[in-house]
Homo-oligomer: A and B are copies of this chain.
Amino acid sequence: MSKPSERLKELGIALPPAPKPVASYVPYVRHGNLVFLSGQIPPMQDGKPAYQGQAGFEQRLEDAREAAKLCTINALSVAADAAGGIDNIERIVKVVVYVASHENFTGQHLVANGCSDLLKDIFGEAGRHARAAVGVAELPLDSTVEVDITLAVKT
């Protein structure tokens, strides 16, 4: 299997620059070889998240799934920064996917697949993670999805 950095190229994905800490919290904290990332929302476009509003209302399932994928790309830019390069990621350990959900929208697990499928596609077995998918009322800046990842890095 290709290295994650090669897979990214094959998939045509360019990681954005890792965000710099600008507040009282930071993009990640490393403890031993575990790295805890901050929750990531979709990339900003014109000053707001690329996907806003609730799944099942403003956003269709397939759009929310794409939002989850974009959150994950943002998270990987932080993860690569934390690991000293994406190829130094040992394992994606745990993912929590928060989906802003309209009442009666119960496809949070399908939205979360936008994250999970990408991770498996890039990292193979090392990308398969424990996961929780939940439907929440609202997310920061009206984001449709927020992805929260914990991972292990090579020592």
Q: Taking A29-B94, A109-B141 as contacts, is the C-beta distance between A134 and B136 under 8 angstroms?
A: yes
Q: How far is the CB of A138 from chain B (nearest CB, A)?
A: 3
Contacts of A132 in B (CB 8 A): 38-39, 96, 98, 146, 148
Please give me the residue from chain B that is nearest to A28 by CB atom: B130
Answer whether A91 and B39 are a contact pair too, CB < 8 Å, given A127-B24, A138-B108, A140-B109: no
CA distance A132 to B40 in the complex (A): 8
How far apart are the CA atoms of A97 and B104 in the complex, in Å? 20
Nearest B-chain residue to A121, judged by Cβ: B24
Asked whether, in the complex, the Cβ of B91 is within 8 Å of the Cβ of A31, the reply is yes
Per the 8 Å Cβ criterion, residues 111-150 of A in contact with B are: 112-113, 116-117, 119-120, 127-143, 146, 148, 150
| Identity of the chain B residue whose Cβ is nearest the Cβ of A21 in the assembled complex | B128
Is there a chain B Cβ closer than 8 Å to A103's Cβ? yes
Within 8 A of B (CB), among A69-116: 91-96, 98, 100-101, 103-109, 112-113, 116
Q: Which B residues lie within 8 Å of A148 (CB)? A: 96, 132
Residues of A within 8 A of B (CB): 21, 23-29, 31, 34, 36-39, 91-96, 98, 100-101, 103-109, 112-113, 116-117, 119-120, 127-143, 146, 148, 150, 152
